[in-house]
A and B are shown apart, each in its own frame.
Chain A
Amino acid sequence: MPAATSQEDIIISLTDIRNQFGSHVLHEALTLDIRKGEVLGIVGGSGTGKSVLLRTIVGLNQKTAGTISILGQDVDRLRLDELNRLRQRMGVLFQDGALFSSLTVSQNIEAVLKEHTRLPISFLKEIAALKISLAGLPADAGGKYPSELSGGMRKRAGLARALALDPDIVFLDEPTAGLDPIGAAQFDQLISDLQTALGLTVVMITHDLDSLHAICNRIGVLLNKRIKVGTIAELTKEPDPWIKEYFDGPRGRAATRSHASQSQKATSSQS
């Protein structure tokens, strides 16, 4: 993992972001740097604007003030075609997949590729089949419609579509919400495998303490209209009561314990 924070390693940089809806200020002077190749988890209480922050970064929500630079480019200064090219380097997994319901899973992926490449349809189908397999779905899922899939499979299909153009950065909105613990752990593993295999940078909103422990390198806590970033160890030392409650509450402690014993087991079995 990149420990140094030289300018080259910063893939997304938010400076002094302000988001305001009417008179309600959601983010104020929010500054965040996302490093290349890391998995950043974003947590925060209800209504602190986690989704809004994610939507602001990917350009679905117009910020009130501040600058966002992605891959070294200031998004406000880009022309439309440059912005579209930049968007091809980002993939988003929405909460329930947001798959196009009138298309099969395979067509969902092909639609993205068709828009941005001039490859023949037979090869697009092969790429789609590969992404479906990468996302851990059985091969026959490609011919199914989103309404025929279970919630967990829809998420995997959404991930396959987000990966269609091999983006550098993937945004995940609550990837493990609504999954059973086994499914959630498998999805965590999938994200972590893909992240190393494809060299992705992952930004995920999550409330799953196990995911935070298992795959996130750093965690950003949305608090008082800003974001506080650090590793779990660093954050647990924070004096803020909400952060304390979050990591030191009964669930937080359980997740810490189980993760510690797991990594112990892993190291002992290695040696």
Chain B
Amino acid sequence: MTTPRFQISEDKNQTAIQLSGSWITQELNTLLPLIETLPIKQGTSVVLNLQHVEIMDSAGALLLQKLRNRLEESGKDTVLENIPDPVKRIISAIEEHHSKTIPAAQERQGIAVFFAETGRHFLELCNKAGELIAFLGLVISASLRQIRHPGRIRFTSLIAQMEQAGLHALPIVGLISFLIGVVLAFQGSDQLERFGAQIFTINLVAVGVLREMGILLTAIIVAGRSGSAFTAQIGTMKVNEEIDAMRTIGLDPIETLVLPRIFGLVLVLPLLTFYADIMGLIGGAAMTMVTLDLSLFQYLRHLQDAAKLGDFLVGMIKAPIFAFIIALIGCHEGLQVSRSAESVGRQTTRSVVEASFLIIVLDAMLSILFSILGV
């Protein structure tokens, strides 16, 4: 490969340009700025001699076309001379296509982009909220249908979902809850020691785990584990046109895919939460027995005084609500997947982020509500 070049020689009223070398895509980078800044002198016609061009590909031919266009715009006639045969073929192939290509539309710049983007995002958000509410309606009407015809409930699928989302989540949920109990007990006893109120560590652990931490952490873990799985499963089916196939066979995707997932999670998340509560209290017990030097029996006695049934119920009542939100968003985002692999990933991320966000906002609102009600 030799570098592509051109050389200009001038007569009285005729300019000749000698082209040489390999005019191929990979080599054009040195040539392009030269052609764009080519000084155009007086004169009427320009002869382009291509005799020494070794090889030319379509990008090279495009560049030659650019050169001719520049010359012709300044009122010169251009003539190609001594074109080798393979080069002639490529030039004629490019000529008819180059005229067809149109320049790209002008892009917006500066502050306008900021406002346009903000507006677009806001409208998208409104759209999304509307879609989610519409989907909620679909799910409710499908559930009512199933309640009227219990024979259509898909128990196999329901149990499979419960196993996936519940049973298989036990190790991770247990471990994290146990550790949270340990951390609460340790930090609590450390701080309360200053007031000589170390024994209230048990109250802290009991109320903290039962009311907030147990359910909140379980819900976030499940959103990450199962909510994302729902989106990915349904989304992949969407990419594969399986959802469309189901519709044509007369299977309602809401009934067959969405409802088992939603009800499976609604049934299983309270159980997981109960398990998380117990594991959190065991973690608290392990730590308080070390720092407060209590026996297990003493811990349990204090726990009985510290925790009221109300604390436990406040935590448990949130479980089905959060489960419903996680599953609803997971399935909805799955059905929003368009026909590309990339959108499966995007919707999955969205599903986890939205579910976690809504859970925490709702948890904060419920905390305020319960404290006003004095539960």
Interface of A toward B, CB cutoff 8 Å? 88, 101-102, 113, 116-120, 123, 125-127, 129-134, 139, 143, 145-147, 163, 165-166, 196-199
**Chain A residues with CB under 8 A of B343:** 101, 147
B25 touches A139 (CB 8 A): no
Instruction: Give the shortest distance, in Å, between A67 (CB) and chain B (any CB).
Output: 26
B342 touches A101 (CB 8 A): yes
Interface of B toward A, CB cutoff 8 Å? 24-26, 28-29, 32, 57-59, 62-63, 66, 86, 89-90, 92-94, 97-98, 100-102, 104, 338-343
- Bound CA–CA A139/B100 (angstroms): 7
* Of listed B89, B101, B342, residue having the most chain A CB within 10 A: B101
B340 touches A116 (CB 8 A): no
8 cross-chain CB contacts under 8 A: A101-B340, A102-B340, A116-B26, A123-B63, A127-B62, A130-B59, A139-B101, A166-B58
B26 touches A88 (CB 8 A): yes
Q: Which of B26, B66, B100 contacts A133 (CB 8 A)?
A: B100
Instruction: Give the shortest distance, in Å, between A123 (CB) and chain B (any CB).
Output: 6
A101 touches B25 (CB 8 A): no
- Bound CA–CA A163/B342 (angstroms): 24
**Chain B residues with CB under 8 A of A113:** 25
Q: Which of A88, A117, A196 contacts B29 (CB 8 A)?
A: A117
Q: Which of B25, B62, B93, B104 contacts A165 (CB 8 A)?
A: B25
B342 touches A134 (CB 8 A): no
A197 touches B90 (CB 8 A): yes
**Chain A residues with CB under 8 A of B341:** 101
Q: Which of A101, A119, A132, A146 contacts B32 (CB 8 A)?
A: A119
- Bound CA–CA A119/B25 (angstroms): 9
**Chain A residues with CB under 8 A of B97:** 130, 133-134
Interface of A (DSSP majority class): helix
Q: Which residue of B lies closest to A136 (CB)?
A: B97
Given contacts A129-B102, A199-B90, 15 further A-B contacts (CB under 8 A): A101-B341, A101-B342, A113-B25, A116-B25, A119-B32, A123-B28, A127-B58, A129-B101, A130-B97, A131-B58, A133-B97, A134-B93, A165-B26, A166-B25, A197-B90
- Bound CA–CA A125/B62 (angstroms): 12
Q: Which of B86, B93, B104, B338 contacts A147 (CB 8 A)?
A: B338
Q: Which of B92, B100, B104 contacts A125 (CB 8 A)?
A: B104
A130 touches B28 (CB 8 A): no
- On whether A147 and B340 interact (CB within 8 A), knowing A113-B25, A166-B24, the answer reads yes
- Bound CA–CA A145/B339 (angstroms): 11
Q: Which residue of A lies closest to B97 (CB)?
A: A133
B339 touches A147 (CB 8 A): yes
A123 touches B32 (CB 8 A): yes
Q: Which of A120, A145, A147, A166 contacts B57 (CB 8 A)?
A: A166
Q: Which of B28, B62, B104, B338 contacts A117 (CB 8 A)?
A: B28
Going nearest first, the 7 A-B pairs with the smallest beta carbon separation are A197-B93, A166-B57, A101-B340, A129-B101, A133-B97, A118-B29, A147-B340
A117 touches B25 (CB 8 A): yes
* Of listed A116, A127, A132, residue having the most chain B CB within 10 A: A127
Instruction: Give the shortest distance, in Å, between B38 (CB) and chain A (any CB).
Output: 15
- Bound CA–CA A147/B25 (angstroms): 29
- Bound CA–CA A44/B66 (angstroms): 46
B338 touches A198 (CB 8 A): no
* Of listed B26, B89, B341, residue having the most chain A CB within 10 A: B26
Instruction: Give the shortest distance, in Å, between B84 (CB) and chain A (any CB).
Output: 12
Q: Which residue of A lies closest to B33 (CB)?
A: A120
**Chain A residues with CB under 8 A of B92:** 197
- Bound CA–CA A166/B28 (angstroms): 13
B101 touches A133 (CB 8 A): yes
Instruction: Give the shortest distance, in Å, between B194 (CB) and chain A (any CB).
Output: 55
- Bound CA–CA A139/B103 (angstroms): 9
**Chain A residues with CB under 8 A of B338:** 147
Instruction: Give the shortest distance, in Å, between A77 (CB) and chain B (any CB).
Output: 21
- Bound CA–CA A88/B104 (angstroms): 27
A130 touches B25 (CB 8 A): no
Q: Which of B26, B89, B339, B340 contacts A199 (CB 8 A)?
A: B89
Q: Which residue of B lies closest to A163 (CB)?
A: B58
**Chain A residues with CB under 8 A of B28:** 117, 119, 123
B58 touches A198 (CB 8 A): yes
**Chain B residues with CB under 8 A of A125:** 104
**Chain B residues with CB under 8 A of A118:** 29
**Chain B residues with CB under 8 A of A133:** 97-98, 100-101
Instruction: Give the shortest distance, in Å, between B157 (CB) and chain A (any CB).
Output: 29
- Bound CA–CA A184/B342 (angstroms): 29
